[in-house]
């Protein structure tokens, strides 16, 4: 095969690939909210005046409506732009929008254990159990803050010597002390039930799930609080007049 034929063949191959990608993208676009036409392979990443993103999204929202689609390479992303539509999605349709994308770092750290797992069935089960148990221990009540401080002090004193096996040895089913006790009791009940089943389902209360669930609670508590404080500071910085009210109240 001479050089000219090779160039023609490669050109036809590239054009075929581009045509196929364009056809597949067009087929997907027909099933998604409207949005700017993407470039082959690159999507909307290299189009003119993309940055800053929030201004671009505002322009796209005024043109295509509060729900539109942009393409990050070959991946379509549906964008919700505006307070009302975001509130309707996350609050009004929380079940449908309760999923989360897979984060490779978290997958490697958690090994898909705990309620940050991408396994929806496990996530729902562990989340339901965790919320129910924490409410039983006073979550959401005014006395919870004092109890948290007391437990934090005990944790500092016992963290070095606390082990799962020790917790099992000192477990008293008639008087569970904390979330770990309740988890171990639930795990024992599930194990008894599954031992009598021929086709037992996945064990959602393993020791690994316990460790990662406790880790998730600490992570969610600290990250959520710090992020909330960051947004509060940003809002106060953007709207300085809001600070007048707290300042006057403090001076009084």
pLDDT category, 123, cuts 50, 70, 90? confident
Which among 3-7, 8-12, 43-47, 64-68 has the top mean pLDDT?
Answer: 64-68
DSSP string, 178-230: SHHHHHHHHHHHHHHHHHT-SS----S--HHHHHHHHHHHHHHHHHHHHHHHH
Say whether pLDDT at 12 is over 70. Answer: yes
Percent of the chain with pLDDT over 70: 79
Mean pLDDT over 181-209 rounds to: 79
**Domain-by-domain residue ranges, the chain?**
7-98, 108-251
Name which of 203, 214, 126 is nearest 167 in CA terms.
214
pLDDT category, 161, cuts 50, 70, 90? low
Per-residue pLDDT, 99: 67
pTM for the structure as a whole: 0.44
Q: Determine if residue 32 is left, alpha or beta; phi over 0 gives left, psi from -120 to 50 gives alpha, anything else beta.
A: beta
DSSP string, 123-139: HHHHHHHHHHHHHHTTT
């Amino acid at each position: 095969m001479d050089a000219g034929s090779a160039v023609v063949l490669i050109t036809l191959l590239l054009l075929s690939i581009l045509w196929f990608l364009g056809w597949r993208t067009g087929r997907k676009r027909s099933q998604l909210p409207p949005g700017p036409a993407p470039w082959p392979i690159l999507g909307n990443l290299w189009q003119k005046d993309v940055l800053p993103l929030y201004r671009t999204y505002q322009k796209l929202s005024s043109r295509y409506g509060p729900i539109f689609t942009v393409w990050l390479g070959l991946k379509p992303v549906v964008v919700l732009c505006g307070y009302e539509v975001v509130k309707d999605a996350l609050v009004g349709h929380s079940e449908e929008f309760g999923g989360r994308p897979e984060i490779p770092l978290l997958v490697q750290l958690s090994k898909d254990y705990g309620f940050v797992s991408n396994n929806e069935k496990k996530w729902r089960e562990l989340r339901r159990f965790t919320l129910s148990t924490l409410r039983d221990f006073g979550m959401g009540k005014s006395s919870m803050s004092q109890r948290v401080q007391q437990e934090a002090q005990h944790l500092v004193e016992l963290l070095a010597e606390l082990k799962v096996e020790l917790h099992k040895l000192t477990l008293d089913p008639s008087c569970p002390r904390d979330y770990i006790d309740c988890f171990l009791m639930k795990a024992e009940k599930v194990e008894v039930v599954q031992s009598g089943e021929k086709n037992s389902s996945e064990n959602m209360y393993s020791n690994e799930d316990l460790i990662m669930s406790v880790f998730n609670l600490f992570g969610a508590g600290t990250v959520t609080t710090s992020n909330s404080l960051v947004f509060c500071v940003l809002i106060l910085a953007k709207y300085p007049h809001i600070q007048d009210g707290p300042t006057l109240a403090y001076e009084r």
